[in-house]
Amino acid sequence: MVSIRTEEITKRFGDVVALDGVSLNVREGEFFALLGPSGCGKTTLLRVIAGLERQDEGRVYFDGRDVSDLPPHERRVAMVFQNYALWPHMTVFDNVAYGLKLKGLPKEEIAEKVRWALRLVRLEGMEDRTPFQLSGGQQQRVALARALAVEPEALLLDEPLSNLDAKLRLEMRGELRKLQRELGVTAVYVTHDQEEAMSLADRIAVMNRGRILQVGTPAEIYERPANYFVADFIGQSTFIPGTVRSASGEVYEVETNLGVMRAVPSTPGSDFHPGEEVILAVRPENLRLGCGRGSNEVEVKVVHVAYLGKHLRLLGEADGIRVVAELDKDSEVGSGETVRLCADPEDVLIIRRS
Amino acid sequence: MSRDPLILGMLAVSLGLFTAVLLIPMFEIVANAFWYQGSPSTYWLEYVLRDPFYFPVSAWVDGRVPFLHLEITTVGSPYTIRGDTLIISGVDYGVILNTLMVAVTVTLISTAIGVTLAFFFSRYSFPGANALRTAMMVPILTTPFVGAVGLRRMISIHGTLNTIFYDYLHLLPYRVVFDGLAAVILVQSLVFYPIVMINAYATMVSIDPTMEEQAEIFGSSGFKLFRTITLPLAMPGIEAGSLLVFILSLEDLGTPIVFQGSNAEKLLTYQIFTKIFSQTGLILPEGTALAFYLLFFSMVAFFVIRKYVALKQYAMLSRGGTWRPRTRRIGAARTILVYAVSLTILFFALLPHIGVILLSVADTWGPSPIPESFSLKNFRFIVEDHLTFSSVRNSLIYSTVATLIIMVVGSGAAYVVSREGGRWSEILNYLATMPIAVPGIVVAAGLFYTYSATPLNPVINPAYLLTLAYSVRRMPFTVRSAFAGMLQTHVNLEEAAWNLGASRTRAFFNVVVPLVLPNVIGGAMLSFVYCMSEVSTSLVLGGANPAFAPITWKMADILYSLGGGQFPTAALGVLLMSLQLAAIVGSNVLLKQRVSALVGA
Ligand SMILES: Nc1ncnc2c1ncn2[C@@H]1O[C@H](COP(=O)(O)OP(=O)(O)OP(=O)(O)O)[C@@H](O)[C@H]1O
Ligand SMILES: [Mg+2]
């Protein structure tokens, strides 16, 4: 198993800058997700790591070894493509055995490894089928088995679940994670589905427009988004623009259209100076009805209340700002009312505008 | 099946046309092949197999040991050396095996060339790739009939190549002459390889690149990657192209006619041709037996295309993901190699065209690489010679009328097949593509035989039968492109019109026709071109009454009746080629798509 490091990778396609100085560190045995909207460069980064695409600048290291000039197969990684790329003219067995045959293994060993890989993905007995005779989920698992059969140093997965229906996707998520843990293989997982990334990954890199905006554990990314894009892309928030007035320790006072708010920097240690234009972000579960001392208060006109089982989701509006809150399910609110919502200062995050 | 009068009308007209002009004549030929002295019999079919002229192997059983006796007639040597000349003429195994051997060899050669070129153009990127690819398609512009005339001039004893490479450069130990079957193979391979190339290219660019990338990750590359992944995935397209070449080679009559006087005469098409007596419509029963064999071979290939190949179409298992055809930039050395291979092929493939063009403007041409003197007299001859001029006019009239029939019936057939399910629609689907598989000489013989006792008798006036034969034989081009257009025109558009109270007929003319018209016209242009250059039906039916004969009949006529007949024939050939070029460019502009969709089977 290897650790993967990319250093200032830049890749252009004509005028399009697909990757713009991407530096990344994937630890050995880690399940690492690349998360970002469509076209942000996730696939390109994965292909650069795999050696399918040659970067214009920057280097790729496996375990500290510079592999930038190695062809794909010498990097000893396996890839699962979004469309599975199963060869339709080969049976399941031949698909899985292809990489092993190229290694020149004896027939017996190949057969054994194919069986092992197919058992891992619970497809024993399907050896003789062709890809056409498999369901989408089964095809996906053949692709996975084919990748695992060669016992790669790292597994590169490009939206492997995006073509499955919702239920299957949930099921496969669990299996994928279990397999990766058991085998201890380093995995880089590309997705544009934030929920998938959050539930699967040890760590996530959020990308936009060819850059990495933040790397962290799911909790860090959710609770401490580094910038507006991340806060907006991951989960939901109420965003309030404002201007920093003063600071006292970690807590800042920020002037907004809804009054002065007390808030903390979203990433610890960052400094804001008075007069700086910022955005305040509050997660829905951090807004509540009963206010305590020292908490921020906003008056919100309720637009819609949705019943979500455990909670009520309140959509409201305060001076042109869209407010989202998650309230206790027996809270008494109705559309058209005006309510007072409160948030503690440590739950109101200050984010830079850009 | 809808009972709508529009659908029923279209169905009736198209089925009627195909039945009258294709099925009944085919049936007549087959029935005659199975008929002897007033009753059904396989006499003639066996007779042909027993004659070593047709089939060199005879087998019989008798009481002696071993019981089965095989006798194989000795065959000649594939080449002879006469003085300073090496004549390559191929081995004569009798008419039936010759025909298969030529078709198989041509198929293999054009497939090898076509697949290699398709691979270059679909996988490598290098300066001038697009221009080179287009240039490699040029040979498709000729008809074998015209090409053979030009090529013969270039490769004859004192032809351009021998003069340059033997007399001037002394590069060859002998003067090399291709003759007979070998010449037929050479001509057909050079003319037909673009058909494989275009089909293989279309499939190769449509292969999902991740299929190959996945294999590369596992360490596959070079020829191994090509053999295990690319080639098998491109197989449906390659097979379709190859089988089409096989059929076209089987049914080619023009080339053996140009090389007559050699063992090129020992091919099925030529033999059938000589057994039809144009003045009376009489066909020797031997001829019908030969026609049956020819029909059988090409129908087998056709059904393989329709069933086996269609089933294997690897509708790519692809869902989403970025998809850009993957080409690799290659270095200078490999670029030079690609150019060297392509240009060598192109050089030989363009010899016929160069030959035809030079001949057409030649005044006299002795043993020198290019004509000694040039003139436009051959083109003047076309205008001034009364019968030649009228043959051009006849062809234009027949082809225009045939094209109009093709447009109406072809769009109707495409409409029925694309909009209606059911048995009749399925039958029509088969019939509309079947003309590809029925050799022209069989259609011609069948039509002659079927209609000789009717007012349509070609001896009285071949115009009607020729026009009908053209329209059926060249229908597939238009049906295919119209069908493609119908599939793109969503049925909702029509339903919207029905909803507003339009009848089906009205909606068809107001909605469908305007939308698919470019497709229909694009296909019809190709149909027109191939009507003009149709050989076998033109020679057989047109020969019945020269006053009404079409251009290709006149070309054959001039070629063998006048001294120096090759010059005006070449001028007529250039005229045909120009028409082809104009129509193909026109249809590509209209269809904005590769010729592949139209040429592919
Ligand atoms: N081969 C290529 N040629 C030209 N542009 C490309 C190529 N590959 C990617 N791009 C461009 O680079 C950018 C990043 O593409 P990439 O496929 O990496 O995005 P992605 O994050 O994987 O998107 P998605 O979620 O839609 O798969 C896009 O703007 C894309 O159009
Ligand atoms: Mg992608």
Q: Largest Cα–Cα distance in chain A?
A: 75
Q: What is the pLDDT of residue B391?
A: 93
- Of these ranges, A237-241, B351-355, B594-598, the one predicted with the greatest mean pLDDT is A237-241
Question: Maximum distance among all alpha carbons in chain B?
Answer: 84
| Residue A119 one-letter amino acid | R
Mutation pick from A54, A81, A157 vs chain B, by most beta carbons of B within 10 Å, is: A81
Of the residues B214, B230, B328, the best mutation for testing chain A's interface (the one with the most A CB atoms within 10 Å of its CB) is B214
Joined tokens for residue A280? 């305040």
Nearest-CA distance B314 → chain A (Å): 7
| Interchain contact A77–B (C-beta under 8 A) | yes
* Cα distance between residue B234 and residue A239, in whole Å: 54
What residues does A349 pair with on adjacent strands? A264, A281
Per-residue pLDDT reduced to its tens digit, B113-145:
999 999 999 889 999 988 898 888 888 776 667
- Which residues approach ligand 1 with their CB closer than 6 A? A 13, 16, 18, 36, 38-44, 192; B 322, 324
| Residue of A102, A151, A153, A156 to mutate, interface with B, max B Cβ within 10 Å | A102
CB atoms within 10 A of CB A215: 18
Beta strands in A65-153 (DSSP E): 65-66, 77-80
Chain B: give the shortest CA distance to residue A97, in Å.
Answer: 10
Tally the residues of chain A: 354
Share in percent of chain A as helix, strand, coil (round to 5): 30, 35, 35
User: Ligand 1, atom 7: nearest CA belongs to which residue?
Assistant: A13
- Which strands, in side-by-side order, build the sheet including A338-343? A321-328, A311-318, A296-307, A338-343
CA nearest neighbour of A246 among A270, A275, A267: A275
Phi, psi dihedrals of residue A121, rounded to the nearest 5°: -100, 15
Which among A71, A82, A132 has the least Cβ separation from residue B320? A82
Residue type, A306: A
Tokens of B514: 């305007």
C-alpha–C-alpha distance, residues B47 and A36, integer Å: 77
- Ligand 2 centre from A208 Cα, in Å? 13
The whole-number pLDDT of residue B315 equals 52
The predicted structure's pLDDT at residue A56: 94
Q: Do A52 and B320 touch (CB under 8 A)?
A: no
Picking from A26, A43, A133, A135, the residue whose alpha carbon sits closest to that of residue A80 is: A43
Three-state secondary structure call for residue A300: strand
pLDDT 10s digits, A116-150: 999 988 898 899 998 888 988 899 999 999 999 99
| A307 interfaces chain B, CB cutoff of 8 Å | no
pLDDT value, residue B309: 65
- pLDDT, mean of residues B387-401: 93
Which band of pLDDT confidence, cut at 50, 70 and 90, is reported for residue B256?
very high
Q: Point out the residue among B211, B216, B218 whose CB comes nearest to the CB of A150.
A: B218
Q: What pLDDT sits at residue B324?
A: 62
A102 CB within 8 Å of a chain B CB: yes
Q: Which amino acid is at A101?
A: K
Query: What secondary structure does DSSP assign to B232-276, as a single string?
Result: HHHHHHHHHHHHHHHHHHHH--HHHHHTTTSGGG-SHHHHHHHTE
**Residue A247, helix vs strand vs coil:** strand
The whole-number average pLDDT for the span B236-247 is 88
Residue whose CB lies within 8 A of the most ligand 1 atoms, among A17, A19, A43, A194, for a mutation test:
A43
Q: What is the pTM of this model?
A: 0.84
A352 three-class SS:
strand
Q: Residue B176: which residues within 8 A CB-CB, separation 6 or more?
A: B85, B86, B88, B155, B161, B162, B166
Q: What is the pLDDT of residues B32-90, one digit of tens each?
A: 999 888 888 888 888 888 888 888 887 767 777 767 666 776 667 788 888 888 888 88
Please enumerate, as own/partner, the contacts of B263-266 that have beta carbons within 8 Å and a separation of 24 or more: B263/B89, B263/B90, B263/B92, B263/B98, B263/B180, B263/B181, B264/B179, B264/B180, B264/B181, B264/B183, B264/B184, B266/B53, B266/B92, B266/B94, B266/B95, B266/B98, B266/B181
Say how many Å lie between the CA of residue A189 and the centre of ligand 2: 11
* C-beta atoms surrounding A60 within 10 Å: 23
User: Within a 10 A sphere around the Cβ of A338, how many other Cβ atoms?
Assistant: 11
Q: What percent of chain B has pLDDT over 70?
A: 91
pLDDT tens figures, B137-159: 888 776 667 777 888 888 888 88
So what's the pLDDT on residue B144?
A: 60
Distance A47 CA to ligand 2 centre (A): 10
Q: Looking at chain B, how many residues does it have?
A: 601
- B454 three-state secondary structure: coil
**Residue A325, C-beta contacts closer than 8 angstroms, at least 6 positions apart:** A238, A284, A287, A288, A300, A313, A314, A316, A341
Residues of A in contact with B324 (CB under 8 A): none
Q: Buried (b) or exposed (e) across A238-260, using 16+ Cβ within 10 A?
A: bbbebebeeeeeebbbbebebee
CB atoms within 10 A of CB B396: 16
CA distance B361 to B356: 9
- Which residue, judged by its Cα, is nearest atom 23 of ligand 1? A39
The 10s digit of each residue's pLDDT in B430-462 is: 888 889 889 999 999 999 889 988 888 888 889
DSSP letters along B524-538, please?
A: HHHHHHHHHT--HHH
pLDDT in tens, chain A (354 residues): 899 999 999 999 989 999 999 999 999 999 999 999 999 999 999 999 999 889 999 999 999 999 999 988 899 999 998 888 899 889 999 999 999 999 899 999 999 999 999 998 889 889 999 888 898 889 999 999 999 999 999 999 999 888 888 888 888 888 899 999 999 999 999 999 999 999 999 999 999 999 999 999 999 999 999 889 999 999 889 999 999 998 887 889 999 988 899 999 988 778 888 888 999 999 999 998 877 777 888 889 999 998 888 888 999 998 889 999 998 888 888 888 899 999 998 899 999 876
Predicted local confidence at residue B316, as pLDDT: 47
State which of A44, A53, A54, A192 you would mutate to test the pocket of ligand 1, scoring each by most atoms of that ligand within 8 A of its C-beta: A44
| Residue A22 sits at the chain B interface (C-beta within 8 Å) | no
Distance CA B155, CA B153 (A): 6
Residues 318-337, chain B, touching A (beta carbon < 8 A): 318-322
Answer yes or no: are the C-beta atoms of A295 and A342 closer than 8 Å.
yes
For CA atoms B136, B140, B141, B143, the dihedral sign is: positive
Q: Is the pLDDT of residue B389 over 70?
A: yes
Residue of A146, A103, A100, A97 whose CA lies nearest to A121: A146
